[in-house]
Amino acid sequence: MFPFRVIDQASVKQLLDMKHVIELVERAYTLKEQKEASLFPMVFHEFAPGKADMDIKSGHLTGANIFGLKLVSWFGENPAKDLPALVGFVMVLDSDTGVPKGMMSGEPVTLMRTGAAGGIGAKYFARPESENLLLVGCGHLAAYEIMATLITMKHIKKVTVYNANSYEKAATFCATAKEKLQDMFLAPYQDDQDLYRTLLDRIEIEYVATDDIRQATEEADIIITATPSHKPIIMKEWVKPGTHFSCIGADMAGKQEIDENLFTTARVFVDDVTQAITVGETKVAVQKGLISKEDIVAEIGSVILGQTPGRLSDQDITIYDSTGIALQDLITADYILKKAEERGVGTIAQL
């Protein structure tokens, strides 16, 4: 028998903060680039097409002595049964012994690490002086994408929010954005007053809803797309030179958020080449022969390590295709387990 820590959703939220998650996700990317981490093949299964499915993402971080998986299921009829449609968990195991270290609710881990990825994309590929952020989508991920970008980009003055299906939802989101960001993300920094005030200043900017995606695109310096769209929302001819895209929403076949023709003139970076060309935003451009796998400049870990330049000029259009990789979840979950042990959080079970 050995101890096995189980951590519920509320506890996971309390143990995480965005600044640390950004650092953890960057480390996952660099370990992958240094061949100290690898992904296992994804598993996807539909129980009932369009109604219920599940996927498993897994991997091994030799540089952190862990391996594990994240399983997420979606059962679209669950809300009618007073159950959440999306359910997930992350399991972390010791790669020296194969013994499980613990498991936890997967939703807060996913939201934090996905938000972090969008902000990291902006950090390494956007123009440093960028002021205007356009967020396409105002669902669960929206606040996380904004907070991560405000942490990584010091000069953002305005966030424009677009919802393709409802201007009202975008307007409602913007009306409460400052309070939401403060409530969701700033509490962990109250003991560090300098950092707390810095982040408080960062969120005290303008949040504006729009129903004119073309104009918003023409004005944007950074565009983060985080929707379940299956067709392009942003067209190539609207995009000005120097714009950066962090594409977050496309994580399975059929999804697409931006015009595939953008890839013909952009510098393209990804979190994982195989995932990007099979389930990511890059897939359609490769499938149509607009670019090839070889046209992808690099995976992001190479840029973080300084091995590959990101932006070459202020005129470059850059695309970061973030499909989401298990290494992000595992390194974040391992951090949570260590914090939980320090604080005596979670339930200890014997297996």
- Residue by residue, what is the 3-state secondary structure of the chain? CCEEEEECHHHHHHHCCHHHHHHHHHHHHHHHHCCCEEECCCEEEEEECCCEEEEEEEEEEHHHCEEEEEEEEEECCHHHHCCCCEEEEEEEEECCCCCEEEEEECHHHHHHHHHHHHHHHHHHHCCCCCCEEEEECCCCCHHHHHHHHHHHCCCCCEEEEECCCCHHHHHHHHHCHHHHHHHHHCHHHCCCHHHHHHHHHHHCCEEEEECCHHHHHHHCCEEEECCCCEEEEECHHHCCCCCEEEECCCCCCCCEEECHHHHHCCEEEECCHHHHHHCCCCHHHHHCCCCCHHHCCEEHHHHHCCCCCCCCCCCCCEEEECCCCHHHHHHHHHHHHHHHHHHCCCEEEEC
Catalytic residue among 19, 57, 70, 123: 70
Active site residue 70: yes
The residues that are catalytic are 70
